Amino acid sequence: MPQVGVRLPASFESAGEFLADAQSLEAAGADLLLLGDGDLDPDLLLAAIAAVTVRVSLHHSAPTETLRRLARSRLISDLESWREVPFPADRNAWRASLAEAAEQSAAGVIIAMDPRLVDLLRNPDIEDDRATDLQLAQG
């Protein structure tokens, strides 16, 4: 199964929420975090992400020595074998994207950050069960 990379925007309103998103993505199973477009310094953003995560790899094409040390050997610079994929319409489309990437021998897929992504990473095989949750809550 290919790895999953998530492209975070290099811009935010709340630093706490931005870093909490990075931690949530790591906990949900993302393998790589990288930055997209934005108006903030990518070196500082990756340093902050490196400081609050422990496992997830980070992408930077030309890291500084400080960033290397903060990331503790989790930096990767080559994304050549990774494939960009759109956010899937549903879990079947997600599984299809991963299967296609595997067939192409891609190292992984890169997907833009979306609030629904944490649930998709944590529960790739569980369909939307909100109706069941409501039933359980009502007894």
Write down the number of H helices and E strands in the chain.
6, 6
Q: Which of 128, 45, 55, 50 is nearest to 90 (CA)?
A: 128
pLDDT of amino acid 130:
53
pLDDT of amino acid 134:
44
Residue type, 134: L
> Which segments of the chain does DSSP mark as H helices, in order?
15-28, 42-52, 65-71, 91-103, 117-122, 130-138
In this prediction, the residues of the chain whose per-residue pLDDT falls under 50 are 131-136, 139
How far is 139 from 129, CA to CA, in rounded Å?
16
Q: Are 116 and 89 contacting, i.e. CB atoms less than 8 angstroms apart?
A: no
Q: What distance lies between CA 70 and its chain's CA centroid? A: 19
Residue matched to tokens 């759109």: 86
Model pTM score: 0.87
Task: Quickly count: other Cβ atoms within 10 Å of residue 99's Cβ.
Answer: 12
Length of the chain: 139
